[in-house]
């Protein structure tokens, strides 16, 4: 009786299954890399609150360093209070301008407000390759619930190039190439909720919503998609190996 040698076929099938699993993993890694951009994460999003908004700034150039960041502040819903947390090696400047038209904020007419913040680094603290820096700002008061607070940013590099993070989110759900840092305000917590939970639950919910609005959930979703892809590849490999043994 002639015995058919199935080793080469089994090897090809196993290689194909392994490649599929590896491809799924690489797709997730690619998604993570592509999603690296300037983002903002507020610790609170409730209407009328004062929030600590933290900007995360990765360096995306292979040859230059990031030496300046400018963030534009909204003028249609101006903040009545803006202050920056000092960062070693960086000088922050808050620019104030007279508004084109007065805006009423919580019953107070505002004619002048902060319109931008600029951070400049000294040579020793520029953001290099494979590095990022965070900048935290106190902003208040936050506008009415449901307001999208858009904070366009300009990232300057030592080679003279400037990347503008100012594109609005697409209506089709796709993320633009250079999305503007943004978050959406939420309803103010109820007094009963504050009394019962000391405000901790509300703060946690607001932080969760802030992560979602700034794309924090994108990385988690991509991770789970990658895990699923790897599992599918592993299952295919096991089934292929079992089928080959039967043959």
C-beta neighbour count of 191 within 10 angstroms: 8
Q: Are 66 and 156 in contact (CB under 8 A)?
A: yes
* The three-state (H, E, C) secondary structure of 57-86, written as one string: EECCCCCCCEEEEEEECCCCCCCCEEEECC
What band does 122 get if pLDDT is binned at 50, 70 and 90?
A: very high
Instruction: Indicate the fold that domain 38-190 takes in CATH.
Output: Immunoglobulin-like (2.60.40)
Instruction: Determine the Cα–Cα distance for residues 94 and 79; give it in Å rounded to an integer.
Output: 12
Helix (H, G, I), strand (E, B) or coil at 218: helix
Q: Which residue has the higher pLDDT, 242 or 132?
A: 132
What band does 9 get if pLDDT is binned at 50, 70 and 90?
A: low
Instruction: Determine the Cα–Cα distance for residues 130 and 122; give it in Å rounded to an integer.
Output: 18
How large is the average pLDDT for residues 157-186? 92
Q: For residue range 132-168, what is the model confidence (pLDDT) as tens digits?
A: 999 999 999 999 999 999 999 999 999 999 999 999 9
Determine the angle formed by the axes of helices 216-246 and 7-34, rounding to 10 degrees. Answer: 180
Q: Are 213 and 181 in contact (CB under 8 A)?
A: no
Helix (H, G, I), strand (E, B) or coil at 198: coil
Q: Which residue has the higher pLDDT, 215 or 75?
A: 75
What band does 235 get if pLDDT is binned at 50, 70 and 90?
A: low
What band does 171 get if pLDDT is binned at 50, 70 and 90?
A: confident
Lowest mean pLDDT among 21-25, 78-82, 190-194, 240-244: 21-25
Report in angstroms the alpha-carbon separations of 19 from 28, 124, 234.
14, 44, 10
Calculate the average pLDDT of the chain.
78
Q: For residue range 93-117, what is the model confidence (pLDDT) as tens digits?
A: 999 999 999 999 988 899 999 999 9
What is the domain partition of the chain in residue ranges? Answer: 7-31+223-246, 38-190
How large is the average pLDDT for residues 26-45? 67
Q: Are 140 and 43 in contact (CB under 8 A)?
A: no
Give the pLDDT score at 24. Answer: 43
How large is the average pLDDT for residues 37-41? 96
């Amino acid at each position: 009786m002639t015995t058919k040698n199935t080793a080469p076929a089994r090897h090809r099938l196993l290689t194909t299954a392994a490649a599929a699993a590896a491809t799924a993993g690489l797709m997730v890694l690619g998604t993570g890399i592509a999603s690296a951009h300037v983002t903002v994460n507020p610790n609170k999003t409730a209407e009328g609150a004062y929030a600590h908004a933290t900007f995360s700034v990765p360096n995306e150039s292979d040859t230059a360093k990031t030496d300046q960041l400018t963030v534009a502040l909204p003028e249609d819903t101006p903040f009545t209070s803006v202050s920056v947390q000092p960062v070693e090696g960086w000088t922050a400047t808050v620019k104030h301008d007279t508004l084109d038209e007065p805006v009423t904020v919580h019953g107070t007419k505002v004619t002048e407000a902060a319109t931008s913040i600029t951070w400049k680094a000294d040579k020793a603290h520029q953001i290099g390759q494979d590095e990022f820096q965070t900048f935290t700002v106190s902003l208040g008061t936050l506008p009415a619930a449901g307001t999208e607070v858009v904070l366009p940013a300009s990232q300057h590099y030592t080679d003279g190039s400037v990347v503008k993070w100012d594109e609005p989110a697409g209506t089709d759900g796709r993320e633009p190439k250079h999305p503007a840092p943004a978050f959406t305000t939420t309803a103010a917590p109820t007094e009963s909720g504050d009394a019962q939970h000391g405000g901790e639950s509300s703060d946690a919910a607001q932080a969760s919503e802030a992560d979602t609005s700034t794309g924090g959930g994108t990385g988690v979703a991509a991770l789970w998609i990658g895990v699923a892809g790897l599992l599918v590849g592993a299952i295919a490999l096991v089934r292929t190996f079992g089928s080959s043994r039967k043959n």
